[in-house]
Structure 1
Amino acid sequence: MSVLTLRLAGPLQSWGVSARFTRRTTESAPTKSGVIGMLAAAAGVERGDDAELAPLAALRFGVRIDQPGTRLRDFHTAHHGFTGISMPLSERFYLADAVFVAALEGDRPLLAGLYAALRTPVYAPFLGRRSCPPALPVELGLHDEGGLQQVLREVPWQASPWYRRQYRDRAQVELTVLREADEDERHAADTRRDQPLSFAAAHRRHALRAIVSDHVTIPNPSARQLPRHDPFDALEEESV
């Protein structure tokens, strides 16, 4: 098994699981449905092509929260293009200045094709909604050693430099990981309805997915390097 890692960073992101009427919320981390949809778009998979979607949906998914961002709310107004009639006022939520590392585990040929598709996408990637383009290249790496959990422990911290500065006094940082539960973890796992079955506009369908929350500790590249100080150095100088 190989692991494809993605860096999801941008001014705004929005990863919704449910939308009720005019209120559209966002989860605190990318959903599997949203990330698989982005990969399918990059590979040119058309909406409604469930046969092409199935291998992507079968990939094991996990995400690491490198920079949680700030939740914000926006009000949207719209008018019908032909009649000019005002549409209902909608309330939409976003994550501002967030950074995530997403990982997908599966067969190498499929992941290598997706990695290449992200470099030359058929349809441009976006972070949950079309109004949320990524600020940096999405493709991060293709790993042939270690499983999903190990890779999420080893990928360097991707948070923005301004965010890392507030942790300069820490040599390591602890980050939250949300990943698909193993078979022996399902009894204590949470569920989320973001397992994509079909993206067809007429019958978009999702199934429940078991997820667990974990933590990883990784080095902080922005840690302050304190000068070496040995109080006995002064005594050695006096005795010379």
Structure 2
Amino acid sequence: MQLAGPLQAWGASARFARRTTEQAPTKSGVIGLLAAALGRGRTADLTDLAALRFGVRVDQRGIPVRDYQVAHHFETGKAMPVSERFYLADAVFVAAVEGEEDLINRLHQALRSPVFLPYLGRRSCPPSRPVELGVHHDRSLDECLAAEPWRASPWRQGRVREPEVQLEVIVQANGDDGPVDTLRDQPLSFDPRHRRYALRGIRHDHVVVPNPAARPLPAEHDPTAVLRGQ
């Protein structure tokens, strides 16, 4: 999946009037996107989707931005507390899920023709590119994240001269991965009356992918030539 848009917001610990965002998409956010594409309601069973292994690659780090929002009760007109909300601007990620073949195929079709429109963490964050990138039954999740072309914006690719770039990947840890970090983004229920999330083990790593816009310096480059009028 390609997750790119003007704004994204992936909260794992956002509560009440302060809505923060993680620096990369969360499993709960992406599973919510997939559930919406399938047409599932918020109270639907998530067992099959929650069992999917999840990973994400950071192709273009977003710029953190902060916004303030105000609201009033429709009937009384009483002002609600000021809401502080954080977003990632101009970010691009590649996300992948791994699981049973039939479910993956159904999710692929749902992304191509979603029941509910996808959004990037919050309804105010629509994607700016197609989300669906394809299915690879012959590769593992880790292999897919390593093989997918660099999806950063053309202006970002053009600023990097090197022929290859190193990108961070955050993948759901296996039982034999040793010490890992944890994040409370394993969805148990999206029921608005009682949303529930569990801790999930995550592993940070890096992959190296080609830069299609690489512009190597000339072999005999002389940085002082311009000063001599040459």
State the partner residue of 1:69: 62
CA contact (8 A) 2:21 2:88 kept: yes
Q: 2:165 aligns with which of 136, 157, 173?
A: 173
Q: For 1:140-155, list aligned pairs within 5 A.
A: 140-155=133-148
TM-align CA RMSD? 1.3
Q: Quote the Cα distance in structure 2 between the aligned partners of 1:226 and 1:110.
A: 47
Residue identity (%): 60
Q: 1:89 aligns with which of 82, 106, 114?
A: 82
State the partner residue of 2:104: 111
Give the CA deviation at 1:144. Answer: 1.5
Q: 1:21 aligns with which of 16, 21, 25?
A: 16
State the partner residue of 1:31: 26
List gaps (5 residues or longer) in structure 2. 221-230
State the partner residue of 1:202: 193
For normalisation by structure 1, the TM-score amounts to: 0.89
Give the CA deviation at 1:227. Answer: 6.8
Q: Quote the Cα distance in structure 1 between the aligned partners of 2:176 and 2:84.
A: 40
Q: 2:155 aligns with which of 136, 142, 162?
A: 162
- Spell out, residue by residue over 1:36-78, the C-alpha distance to the aligned partner (whole angstroms, 9 max, x if none): 000001101111112xx11111000000000011000000011
State the partner residue of 1:237: none
1:7 is aligned with what amino acid?
Q
Q: For 1:178-197, list aligned pairs within 5 A.
A: 178-185=170-177, 187-197=178-188
Moved more, 199-208 or 89-98: 199-208
- Spell out, residue by residue over 1:118-138, the C-alpha distance to the aligned partner (whole angstroms, 9 max, x if none): 111111100000000000111
Q: Quote the Cα distance in structure 2 between the aligned partners of 1:226 and 1:14.
A: 38
- Spell out, residue by residue over 1:6-54, the C-alpha distance to the aligned partner (whole angstroms, 9 max, x if none): 000000000001123311100000000000000001101111112xx11
Larger Rg: 1
- Spell out, residue by residue over 1:188-216, the C-alpha distance to the aligned partner (whole angstroms, 9 max, x if none): 10000100011111121111100010000
CA contact (8 A) 2:14 2:21 kept: no
List gaps (5 residues or longer) in structure 1. 1-5, 230-240
3-state SS of paired residue (2:108): helix
3-state SS of paired residue (1:195): strand
For normalisation by structure 2, the TM-score amounts to: 0.92
Q: Quote the Cα distance in structure 2 between the aligned partners of 1:39 and 1:56.
A: 8
Moved more, 82-91 or 25-34: 82-91
Give the CA deviation at 1:228. Answer: 7.9
Between Structure 1 and Structure 2, the one with more strand by share is 1
Between Structure 1 and Structure 2, the one with more helix by share is 1
3-state SS of paired residue (1:127): coil
3-state SS of paired residue (1:143): coil
